[in-house]
Structure 1
Amino acid sequence: MEILKWLFGKKNDDVKEIESQENNDFKITKVGSEHEPMCPYCKTSLNKFPSRKTKCPHCRNFIFVRKLNDSRLKTLVTEEQVQEIEIEQKKNYLRYNRLRKLKEFGVTEDEFVKRKEELYLKSGIENNEDDAFWSIFNELLSENANDVNQLRMDYYSMAIFLYEEGRDNFKLLQLNAKATLDSFQLSNLELKVEIVGCSDSCEACKKLNGKIISIEEAYLLPIPCRECTHRIGFCRCFYCSVSSRDSEGMLIFKK
């Protein structure tokens, strides 16, 4: 739903520029606009412009109604074109989302474009946005190597992007968990670790929720849970530090 809201809602200048570049590579022939209703298969004129999916009275193929990114008018398209449009819409959304996320980490659009140009000069491969994006994020990891709190944020952002691209993000979730534990080590207190799930955790994660373990045990990474079946698509459990106390209830400091 979020993707559809972005696609058909008001777009900012970044998105418009991305779409403008993409439209040079991706074109759907506008056969059958609202002004000229025509079957996209047999090119026969229709009596009126359909308001929803319908079957051509002439060739009997299903006609779909879509509004393309670069037009306010609805267009009649084939089933194959619908699939092409949906693929391109998803690509545009991912590019927009990447640009937005990079800005949150202080990376400007100009820096992103410059990195694409640098990679193109090295590899000769055009449209290398994937490589440019991950190259910048890997650089951020290197810059933040001594800042474990920032590092765990970097890992989690990368994990989310991998998931949105339909790729396995489990390793990055593990790195995020390790960085979280590393941040606990900065404390002067003796700590233990609690595994915290969410209100709608899957059955596998519910068994871990609320469990308190030592930091050494936590580094064995019982979470993220590989067996997690949460509807979001990956484990959302996280570590929370718990202060150790003596028999009198006083906090225990590291020696």
Structure 2
Amino acid sequence: MANTTDDTTLALDAVKGEHPTDIFSLDGEGDWSPHITESNLPTKIIWSPTMGFSTVDKDVLAICEEAISELEKAGVEVVVNDSIWEVNPVESWMVFWACARARAQQHLIGTEEYESIDPLLRLFIEMGVTMDGASYASAIDACHHYNYQLEEAFQESPLIITPATCGQPPKLEGDGFVNGEETASWVDFTMGINMTRNPAGVIPVGNLDNNLPVAIQIIGQQRADLDVLKAMKAFEEVINFRERAEDF
């Protein structure tokens, strides 16, 4: 995480590339930083305010739509597609999350240390212990299913734009808020992209009345990380959100 796309790209240049000990690493290529310039504004994007399955906070949506309007004024063609996914990916994602938590922490069950773990996290650990292989395989199938639906949408444009979050950020403890209601679904747009592994990035586009930030998410096709970074940089220049938290 960084304040600007330039800083993000510099960090990625330091860590990306193939490595013999990483079975998921990709072939190495040149640095991305020299290719990130303001002149890479895409000609066409897809705007998907709910992706077809979620509810977005009205104040968050209003700020995101203002940003999309600024992109249109800058010459970007905006295609609205709000039916990309019919089903919320969260249930399939939960299988991965619960199994990962069980793998990492099930050995603590029945110990004093286990009682110090957050109760909600304990619930996921215990859920993961009971998961079977067929459920995990079905969750992997869901990754391919959601990726296929994304790829169908990408036929109109190689970039899909959504709000970064469906809701307003949470307080120190608890969930975020969608139209005044506290709900875990405030991050609905995160889980599916984690599953499909598409490159995605966010940039801030404005502040709510409570001075908390709102951002848009830019999603690219498989392994099109550089296209996403170029769009992020270009959108930063158009939207021109320059506010920074104090001491950062």
TM-score by length of 2: 0.20
TM-score by length of 1: 0.20
Structure with greater Cα Rg: 1
Q: Which has the higher contact order (CA 8 A, sep 6+)?
A: 2
